[in-house]
Chain A
Amino acid sequence: MTYMTRTLLAAMMASTIVAGTATAATHPETGEALAADQTFTNWTLDNPSSFDPQVVEDSDGAAMVRNMFEGLMNQDADGNLVPGVALDYSVNDDKNVYTFTLRPEAQWSNGDPVVASDFVYAWQRAVDPELASPYAWFMELMSIENASAIIAGEMPKEELGVKAIDDHTLEVTLSASLPYFATMTTHSTTFPAPQKVIEEFGAEWTKPENIVVNGAFILEDYTPGERIVQVRNPEYWDNENTILDKIETLVVTDQNQALTRYLAGEFDRIELPAGTYPKMKAEHPDEAVSVPWLCNYYYTFNVSDSGPEAFKDVRVRQALSLAVDRKVITENVMQGGQPEAYSFTPAAVAGFEPPKSAMADMTQAERDAKAKELLAEAGYGADNPLTFDMIYNTSENHKKVAVVLSQMWKQKLGVQASLANMEWKTFLDTRGRQDFALARGAWCGDYNEASTFLDLLTTPSGYNDGKYSNTEYDELIQSAKTAENAPELYTQAEAILAEEMPVIPIYHYAGVMMIDTDLKGWPYQNVERNWYGKNLYKVAE
């Protein structure tokens, strides 16, 4: 380092410090007094799967990656799209060519500018069979031209439908028109990657000593099973509007232990263990929060050949769904403010109001009466009781729900459901082989659009473990991908599900958290749980 650069660096650092102290006094917009220590102590259940944007697959890990890397678009506190590295984008009339204009001031933490080719490199990397990203399918989901063929090894990765027109113009070509494509660029798989650094260090590039980022924070320390420390990245283009200095994420696998430590003041945010929300809400009304999440919880009927004959009868499926008193499950079992589910798609989804099935307007007594009637019509009753097995993965919560469900069916309909719990991987394996009658299922949206849920029950979906198949439904979902009136088609699709009941929606998830009152800027209304450290700040207590 020459004397000149050293002086420059020192001057820059000094100005950052000055700027830092200047903004540390009050929040520029709200005028709140800011805390001197701008450290956000967050909780996570397990180690992140990776810090590599193209490799990470768990949601907490993706949140850490989102703080270190910035994609084309970001989300605001309500989940709306706002510019990230891209200032703006345009789309052709067919909605299959998107052109993003990148902001010229964006740069990597090593001082290199963030250019369109960084995105091209990252996206090619995501589909590269050599990297074998578990999220390669996301590029297929985004319908990027040739993604599938490249993943299958039939084409070189350079053929991917993404190119840098110049340093600040990125053009993406899709194999189908996709009106919501831009919303998908908030996903970590699409974040840029520093080619030079990755080529230099290989798999070691995400180690704290090697990593180069383009987001508001950079990895300072990572001790697996203990903590992840991210600090302000002074090279970030919007650094002067970032208030938080440090994000410290502590790994605590036992949620009750995390709660005790939160109460002792060791955390700014935790997620509450099941069943503790009512007590915490009563004792700490300002800190305990329940917000809707973009996830559903349901039971799926095995309607394939290996499933029981009874479940092929729609009346049986209807009867079992009608007899579920969802209010009891949400209010007495889950107790965390979860909404009852009368549609497959959670109501929290953007741009679509899922229609509630007819049963939503009935009283539980009416539903029970209807259920008895339907089951009797189907030929099941006291002399010929319906019996089946239901499986769920080992967890206190899932067990409680399963027990309550089986009791409701037994008392109201005389149905004998026997419960079996399984360790997670065994459960997935068993369910994936259709070796079940009724199985628990849940899904969290990959992006905020109804198709992320409705796709699951299409015939070719890999997640359709019950093997439900309805041509009309498949066609609706397929045409919704390109249609102007997608919500209408989704409404029709939900109506088919309500009629045929291939799954029993039970409830939609709620995020139940404790958030310290001095932490501000948490995006409670962002149902995808996408939070950005650069929007958070701590106020003086």
Chain B
Amino acid sequence: MLNYILRRLLTAIPTLLVLVIICFLMMHAAPGGPFTSERPLPPEVLANIEAKYGLDKPLYAQLWDYLVGVVTRFDFGPSFIYKDRSVNDIIAQGFPVTLTYGTISFVLATIVGVAMGVFAALRHNTWVDYLAVGATFSAQALPNFVMAPILVIIFTWQLGWLPGGGWNGGQWQYVVMPVIALSTSYMASIARIQRTAMLEVLHSNFVRTARAKGLPSSTIIWRHAMKPALMPVVSYLGPSFVAMITGSVVIDLYFSTGGVGLHYVNAALNRDYAVMLGVTILYGALTILFNLVADIVYAWLDPKIRY
């Protein structure tokens, strides 16, 4: 097991390297650059700026300098657009925000989603099931970029209960709406996957055998059905956890949380190369890590899996 984890972590290095190279080349292939602006800079001013940021060097040299900086100094470079900030600053400030509302959303979505899915499966084809299925479909049909403005209209403008945006160090009033807007659709997906998986397990032979042996139904569900029914959910949870803690562009945009999610899109639009690469590395590393975590949880859930 330990060997397996080490192997997986080691293969993460070349994976990340490839990711950085592809991202780097794609960024530089896009037309324009960080200093392309409405007001074209005089050539000598542009030359000074490019020299300052090393953009006058050939591409391979820029890539090499970047990688050396990251590996030896853990320095992800400066932001070309927000000139008072380095990429390290941006991530150090924005990641805790998305980590906070992402983790809360994740826990909420998982608990409620799994409970709804299991409950619906156990009451298959009753009104409970229909209600749960109906609720999940409507939650999925309501994307968060529609939901976020609606939440603000209701809770901020009409009722005046919650602030319409901001973060303020993560006080609870500021966290409520981002969590609702972010968790709803994940909750719905989890509930649907859980319901389908549970139904399948409940109709499998070993559950039928357990029933025939006369085991009480709580034992059947908790001891025998739950674990295998969680498998599909777990494989969904790994990547979605990463997506949630690295923030959603929509949440950061509508609620001005200052999270790292918005930087992903802004950096691409602004050609803020270093920020783009930094956020990509963060995203990539977390994805690799939590896919590994999901695989480890698998092994625990399913005794047939051995690494």
Contact B36 A429 (CB under 8 A): yes
Binds A, one of B4-12, B110-118, B136-144, B250-258: B250-258
The one of B35, B82, B152, B271 that contacts A261, using a Cβ cutoff of 8 Å? B152
Binds A, one of B45-53, B64-72, B101-109, B228-236: B45-53
Binds B, one of A50-58, A68-76, A310-318, A501-509: A50-58
Given the known interface contacts A50-B84, A260-B157, the answer about A425 and B45 at a Cβ–Cβ threshold of 8 Å is no
Contact A260 B82 (CB under 8 A): no
Contact A250 B256 (CB under 8 A): yes
Given the known interface contacts A224-B94, A266-B163, the answer about A432 and B36 at a Cβ–Cβ threshold of 8 Å is yes
- How far apart are A286's CB and chain B's nearest CB, in angstroms? 19
The one of B42, B51, B167, B257 that contacts A140, using a Cβ cutoff of 8 Å? B42
Q: Which residues of A contact B94 (CB under 8 A)?
A: 224-225
Given the known interface contacts A132-B51, A207-B84, A257-B149, the answer about A266 and B164 at a Cβ–Cβ threshold of 8 Å is yes
- How far apart are A458's CB and chain B's nearest CB, in angstroms? 14
Contact A224 B90 (CB under 8 A): yes
The one of A136, A253, A257, A263 that contacts B48, using a Cβ cutoff of 8 Å? A136
The one of B90, B152, B269 that contacts A260, using a Cβ cutoff of 8 Å? B152
Given the known interface contacts A132-B52, A140-B42, A250-B256, the answer about A428 and B37 at a Cβ–Cβ threshold of 8 Å is yes
- How far apart are A323's CB and chain B's nearest CB, in angstroms? 27
By beta carbon, the residue of chain B nearest A423 is B269
Enumerate A78-137 residues with CB–CB distance to B below 8 Å: 129-134, 136-137
Contact A428 B38 (CB under 8 A): yes
Enumerate B147-182 residues with CB–CB distance to A below 8 Å: 148-149, 152-153, 156-157, 160, 163-167
Given the known interface contacts A129-B48, A130-B52, A463-B39, the answer about A223 and B167 at a Cβ–Cβ threshold of 8 Å is yes
Contact A224 B258 (CB under 8 A): yes
Expressed in whole angstroms, the Cα–Cα distance for A253 and B257 within the complex equals 11
Contact A226 B269 (CB under 8 A): no
By beta carbon, the residue of chain B nearest A56 is B83
By beta carbon, the residue of chain A nearest B44 is A152
Enumerate B191-225 residues with CB–CB distance to A below 8 Å: none
Interface string of A409-442 (1 = CB under 8 A from B): 0000000000000011110111010000000001
B282 is an interface residue with CB less than 8 A from chain A: no
Contact B156 A264 (CB under 8 A): yes
Given the known interface contacts A250-B165, A254-B253, A257-B152, the answer about A52 and B44 at a Cβ–Cβ threshold of 8 Å is no
Q: Name which of A256, A424, A443 has the most chain B CB atoms within 10 A of its CB.
A: A424
A251 is an interface residue with CB less than 8 A from chain B: yes
Expressed in whole angstroms, the Cα–Cα distance for A227 and B255 within the complex equals 12
- How far apart are A107's CB and chain B's nearest CB, in angstroms? 24
- How far apart are A431's CB and chain B's nearest CB, in angstroms? 10
Contact A134 B49 (CB under 8 A): yes
Contact B51 A129 (CB under 8 A): yes
B262 is an interface residue with CB less than 8 A from chain A: yes
Q: Which residues of B contact A223 (CB under 8 A)?
A: 93, 167, 258
Given the known interface contacts A130-B52, A425-B31, the answer about A225 and B258 at a Cβ–Cβ threshold of 8 Å is yes
B41 is an interface residue with CB less than 8 A from chain A: yes
By beta carbon, the residue of chain B nearest A128 is B48
Interface string of A17-44 (1 = CB under 8 A from B): 0000000000000000000000000000
- How far apart are B227's CB and chain A's nearest CB, in angstroms? 41
Q: Which residues of B contact A264 (CB under 8 A)?
A: 152, 156-157, 160, 164
Given the known interface contacts A432-B36, A462-B42, the answer about A254 and B160 at a Cβ–Cβ threshold of 8 Å is no
A175 is an interface residue with CB less than 8 A from chain B: no
Contact B90 A253 (CB under 8 A): no
Given the known interface contacts A130-B52, A136-B45, A261-B165, the answer about A49 and B82 at a Cβ–Cβ threshold of 8 Å is yes
Expressed in whole angstroms, the Cα–Cα distance for A251 and B153 within the complex equals 18
- How far apart are A130's CB and chain B's nearest CB, in angstroms? 7
- How far apart are A128's CB and chain B's nearest CB, in angstroms? 9
The one of B35, B85, B148 that contacts A224, using a Cβ cutoff of 8 Å? B85
The one of A50, A226, A428 that contacts B166, using a Cβ cutoff of 8 Å? A226
Enumerate B70-100 residues with CB–CB distance to A below 8 Å: 78, 81-85, 90, 93-94
Contact A134 B254 (CB under 8 A): no
Q: Name which of B37, B85, B166, B167 has the most chain A CB atoms within 10 A of its CB.
A: B166
By beta carbon, the residue of chain A nearest B255 is A257
Contact A263 B30 (CB under 8 A): no
Q: Which residues of A contact B252 (CB under 8 A)?
A: 225
A291 is an interface residue with CB less than 8 A from chain B: no
Q: Which residues of B contact A250 (CB under 8 A)?
A: 165-166, 256
By beta carbon, the residue of chain A nearest B83 is A50
By beta carbon, the residue of chain B nearest A154 is B44
The one of B49, B82, B149, B269 that contacts A50, using a Cβ cutoff of 8 Å? B82
Q: Which residues of B contact A131 (CB under 8 A)?
A: 52
A320 is an interface residue with CB less than 8 A from chain B: no
B238 is an interface residue with CB less than 8 A from chain A: no
Contact B82 A47 (CB under 8 A): yes
The one of A134, A253, A442 that contacts B45, using a Cβ cutoff of 8 Å? A134
Q: Name which of A443, A462, A463 has the most chain B CB atoms within 10 A of its CB.
A: A462
The one of B30, B45, B164 that contacts A257, using a Cβ cutoff of 8 Å? B164
B134 is an interface residue with CB less than 8 A from chain A: no
Expressed in whole angstroms, the Cα–Cα distance for A51 and B85 within the complex equals 11
B259 is an interface residue with CB less than 8 A from chain A: yes
Enumerate A126-159 residues with CB–CB distance to B below 8 Å: 129-134, 136-137, 140, 148, 151-153
By beta carbon, the residue of chain A nearest B53 is A132
Q: Which residues of A contact B30 (CB under 8 A)?
A: 425-426
A195 is an interface residue with CB less than 8 A from chain B: no
Contact B165 A49 (CB under 8 A): no
A206 is an interface residue with CB less than 8 A from chain B: yes
Contact A266 B156 (CB under 8 A): yes
Expressed in whole angstroms, the Cα–Cα distance for A251 and B83 within the complex equals 17
Q: Which residues of A contact B31 (CB under 8 A)?
A: 425-426, 429-430
Contact B258 A226 (CB under 8 A): yes
- How far apart are A336's CB and chain B's nearest CB, in angstroms? 20
Q: Which residues of B contact A428 (CB under 8 A)?
A: 32, 36-38
By beta carbon, the residue of chain A nearest B159 is A264
- How far apart are A287's CB and chain B's nearest CB, in angstroms? 15
B58 is an interface residue with CB less than 8 A from chain A: no
Expressed in whole angstroms, the Cα–Cα distance for A430 and B262 within the complex equals 26
Contact B256 A225 (CB under 8 A): yes
Expressed in whole angstroms, the Cα–Cα distance for A257 and B37 within the complex equals 27
Contact A261 B45 (CB under 8 A): no
Enumerate A251-287 residues with CB–CB distance to B below 8 Å: 251-254, 256-257, 260-261, 263-266
Q: Name which of A51, A148, A260 has the most chain B CB atoms within 10 A of its CB.
A: A260
Q: Which residues of B contact A424 (CB under 8 A)?
A: 269
Q: 30 A–B contact pairs at CB < 8 A?
A: A50-B84, A52-B83, A55-B83, A133-B45, A137-B41, A140-B42, A152-B44, A153-B48, A207-B84, A224-B93, A224-B94, A227-B166, A250-B165, A251-B256, A251-B258, A253-B253, A253-B262, A257-B148, A257-B164, A260-B152, A424-B269, A425-B270, A426-B31, A426-B32, A429-B31, A430-B31, A432-B36, A442-B38, A462-B41, A463-B40
Extra inter-chain contacts (5) besides given A226-B167, A251-B256, A261-B157, CB under 8 Å: A134-B49, A136-B45, A226-B166, A257-B149, A462-B40
